[in-house]
Structure 1
Amino acid sequence: MGAALRRIQFGNALAAFGNGFTAPFLFVYVSRVRGLGDGTAGAVLAVFALVALAVLPFTGRVIDRRGPMPVALVGSALGMVGALGFGISEDASSALASSALMGAGVAVIQPALATMIVSCSTTSSRSRAFATQFFLNNLGLGVGGLLGGLMVDEHRPATFTLLFVIESAMFVVLALVLVSVRLPEFRAGDAVRGAAAPMRESLTDSWAVLLRDRRMVLLCVLGFVLFFACYGQFESGLSAYAVEVTRISTSTLGVALAANTAMIVLAQYVVLRLVERRRRSRVVALVGLIWAVAWVAAGASGLVHGAQAAATALLITTYALFGLGETMLSPTVAPLVADLAPKRLLGQYNSAFALVKQLALAVGPAVGGLLAATGAYGLYIVMLVGCSIGVSLLALALGRRLTAAQDRPYRSVVVASNSGTGQQTSDTRAEATALSASEEREAAMAAV
């Protein structure tokens, strides 16, 4: 990675670290520590999600017109104020206002950072860059959550206030790190920041361009099903199923979540080396099959009566398989969004995909929670096995629409010389040149 990309990744990791301090405890903080009740705590989480859904449709246009840096700095400022507001909130109105500020800040930071990563990477290195971002996000969240859990005391509100102060400070650090980043000039074949090219489309026009792009629309549908079937279930239906049907303790549920994080942290770069030169569509299709097996294992854990150890092992396996699938998605889906985007609409495409993710994260817990509340756990498992198989089918359908450069951008092989300095063979250089030319033609066609 270049210096600019290293700084972006470092700031992103620290922001995730700060978020890990508070995210697992937000509901408990509002409901019990501040004594505002479960209804208010639920409303706080809902406002967080709704505000993110409200601002994301407009974020992409701002990124394309002004560049990702101002958007990321505004998002950091909103996140900082929101975190501080949570730390001193003592009534429902201040907690809801803080949730709105933080939701808006976090929402706009995500596509801005994604656009920065694209600007500081090449087509061939982009998958590794996004895999690194995902790895650092999970590492930061895991470490932050672990330390936060050791620091908080439900009977001492000041300990929670300290956590929110730490998160606020991490937003400030993110802004300071990003200010030091000098984004490079954009090269042919790479996505272009909106400030480098005039924007003629209105917001409506830019959305119309995206909606006419059948590949991007199909990718968004695929993304919604992906996020619905995995991330959208972690804190709702799957947790309820684990406790109510598999009958594991809450501490064992924590072990299962730790298994998910451990799989991501330990396997990310091993998996990356295995999948980065494969067809992206087939990698995503394989993720669908892996997650189908994971949901079958979850279902089986509820059918094993009188063998609690086996049931627990099956459920932990479910979380670990989800982590394996996540490591395969991180170098695959986000880079594909960038490769599909016309150069002048990179921010719009990143924001649209972030919007799809946020929508899935709102709908997923609602559906999972509803089925859990009615006790329809059999239907719940069948639905999610079906969603996972749907991921595979959608991925294969998308693969038929992608160009070779979009579906499998890694065609050049670096051959180390005898001295270990790493030289490319003439055939490899020719192949890389041909791939670059193909990418330029594709970018030109997309722009038209």
Structure 2
Amino acid sequence: MTIMRQLAAPSSSSPTPSPSPPSERPALGVLVRASGGPRYAVALAVDSLGSGLLRPFLLLYGIQVCHLGVVRSGTAMSVGMLAGLSVLPFAGRWIDRGARTAAVAAAMLVRVLGVLVLLAAPLLGGSPLWGFIVAALFLGIGNQCWPPAHAAVVTTLAEPRYRDAALAAGRSLRNAGMGAGALIATVSTAGGTGALRTLAGVTALGYLVAAALVLPMRVRAQQPIRRGVSRVRGGGGLKVLDVANLPYAFCFNVLEVALPAFLVVRLHVAPAWSAGIFVGNTVLVVATQIAVVMWMSRFARRSSLAMSGLVLAVSYLGFWAAGSLGGWGAAAGVAAVSVLYTAGEIMYTGSATALIVASTAPDRIGAALSRFQLSSGIGLAASPALLTALLAQGSGALWVSLALATLLAAAAVLRWAPSERRPGGERPSPPAEDRSPAEDR
């Protein structure tokens, strides 16, 4: 109730800006141009399709093609991808020095290198373990550096009033492409190790084509960072946001780790239920994300992000309550609650990046986005171990802990996260192409 009252009232620490007038949903052509144009949209589609072909089956590749076993394959993936997080600060500085499409293309090309190492690993003498670790490292670097680089491109190219919708459109396109790729790969994996090698090769080709489409665009920021100058607005609030993001980021592995384990281990239902929930989540995200983000644009982004935490927390408690029904009723209840969980996920992804963009100076956007992605990456890396450990203690330990942690994060966001600035503040507005959405309103 305290959070609900806070959501309804301004924070005492800083004045909350008045809500923006409702934004109309832009036409498809306007949205494509705001997102980088047709060439960039095709590159995103090809890149996401390639990711969908391999990413869900990378563990299976380590087991069946490299013959590493389940434990060594999983450990190698974690080590490689955690090491890949160390590149994010350097990527942020590169973005702040003006790189935009070059950073996106680099994130695609480094994954080409990762897939090539993956293909070569079983052919090298000795154990393919180190080859698999290096491949996971390069793939992790590309996967972690892509989100801030892409957000920086959209921030630079899109008109402020279209930025939230353009970011949401990119996420929808990526979800659709990865879903289509995963569906194709699911059918293809029946062909065994040869099919997995083929999928890896096609993935590398997709990344290469996507990079070739992006590189000629040569989009750069007009106001690169100046050494010794710090123009981050609300720096302390951004640090709070990075920390509060950790429990939020657990929501991504709730769908892929916690729910399947909960359904199979605790509720003893068929794995098809978790597969159906995953497909339903993907369809809902693709179909409704832009509309939900445009609806949320009438509210302050900080309030929207806090509300997403509240919705996610309620969904976690809903999963716990549904599990008490037992049998088919429990599985059906979990499936129904997953719709609420999907709504919270959409609200979270639609407001978090937008809040960072709206509260950070254009010449520091790379550092802010990279720190946030580092926070998300740490949460994603830590959550499988923590989620499964909590589930081993009982259903209540898992879902109640998740709900409490997310509620605390939502309260921290509402109290200390940065607010968007409105015209008339002490800081002069930058040029139109670099203004934040809040400054344009």
- In which range does the TM-score fall when normalised by the shorter chain? 0.7 to 0.9
Matches within 5 A, 1:320-331: 320-331=339-350
Matches within 5 A, 1:377-392: 377-392=395-410
Question: Residue type matched to 1:392 in 2?
Answer: A
| CA distance in structure 1 between the aligned counterparts of 2:146 and 2:207, rounded to whole angstroms | 10
| CA distance in structure 2 between the aligned counterparts of 1:174 and 1:321, rounded to whole angstroms | 34
| CA distance in structure 1 between the aligned counterparts of 2:365 and 2:59, rounded to whole angstroms | 35
Shift in Å, 1:254 = 0.3
Counterpart in 2 of 1:366?
Answer: 385
Q: Does 1:264 align with 2:285?
A: yes
Q: Can you list the C-alpha shifts for 1:259-305, whole angstroms capped at 9, x where unaligned?
A: 11121122223323321222222222222222122112211232113
198 and 32 in structure 1: CA distance in 2 versus 1, 3 angstrom threshold: closer
Question: Residue type matched to 1:109 in 2?
Answer: W
Question: Residue type matched to 1:343 in 2?
Answer: P
Shift in Å, 1:442 = 6.5
Identity %: 23
| CA distance in structure 1 between the aligned counterparts of 2:294 and 2:107, rounded to whole angstroms | 33
Q: Does 1:348 align with 2:367?
A: yes
Shift in Å, 1:174 = 1.6
| CA distance in structure 2 between the aligned counterparts of 1:293 and 1:176, rounded to whole angstroms | 44
Unaligned runs of 5+ in 2: 1-30, 123-127, 436-441
Counterpart in 1 of 2:21?
Answer: none
Contact 1:82 1:102 in 2 (8 A): yes
Which sits farther off after the overlay, 210-219 or 289-298? Answer: 210-219
214 and 37 in structure 1: CA distance in 2 versus 1, 3 angstrom threshold: same
Pick from 53, 63, 66 the counterpart of residue 34 of structure 1: 66
Give the secondary structure class of the aligned counterpart of 1:183. coil
Contact 1:235 1:365 in 2 (8 A): no
Q: Does 1:174 align with 2:210?
A: yes
TM-score by length of 1: 0.81
Contact 1:85 1:94 in 2 (8 A): yes
Contact 1:232 1:360 in 2 (8 A): no
Contact 2:285 2:342 in 1 (8 A): yes
TM-score by length of 2: 0.82
Q: Does 1:44 align with 2:61?
A: no
Give the secondary structure class of the aligned counterpart of 1:355. helix
Question: Residue type matched to 2:118 in 1?
Answer: F
Shift in Å, 1:142 = 0.8
| CA distance in structure 2 between the aligned counterparts of 1:273 and 1:341, rounded to whole angstroms | 21
Contact 1:286 1:392 in 2 (8 A): yes
Which sits farther off after the overlay, 138-147 or 103-112? Answer: 103-112
Question: Residue type matched to 1:299 in 2?
Answer: W
How big is the alpha-carbon RMSD for the aligned residues of Structure 1 and Structure 2?
2.6
Pick from 419, 423, 430 the counterpart of residue 402 of structure 1: 419
Question: Residue type matched to 1:259 in 2?
Answer: G
Q: Does 1:78 align with 2:78?
A: no
Q: Which structure is higher in RCO with an 8 Å CA cutoff and minimum separation 6? A: 2
Q: Can you list the C-alpha shifts for 1:58-109, whole angstroms capped at 9, x where unaligned?
A: 2111222251233323222210111132234322121111111111222222
Question: Residue type matched to 1:245 in 2?
Answer: R
Q: Does 1:303 align with 2:321?
A: no
Counterpart in 2 of 1:282?
Answer: 303
Question: Residue type matched to 1:377 in 2?
Answer: S
Contact 1:257 1:319 in 2 (8 A): no
Question: Residue type matched to 2:214 in 1?
Answer: L
Q: Does 1:103 align with 2:140?
A: yes
251 and 225 in structure 1: CA distance in 2 versus 1, 3 angstrom threshold: same
Unaligned runs of 5+ in 1: 185-192, 406-434
Shift in Å, 1:116 = 0.7
Q: Can you list the C-alpha shifts for 1:158-201, whole angstroms capped at 9, x where unaligned?
A: 100111112111211221121232537xxxxxxxx2x7435213
Counterpart in 2 of 1:431?
Answer: none
Q: Does 1:13 align with 2:45?
A: yes
198 and 288 in structure 1: CA distance in 2 versus 1, 3 angstrom threshold: closer
Counterpart in 1 of 2:428?
Answer: 441
Which sits farther off after the overlay, 280-289 or 255-264? Answer: 280-289
- How many equivalent pairs are there? 396
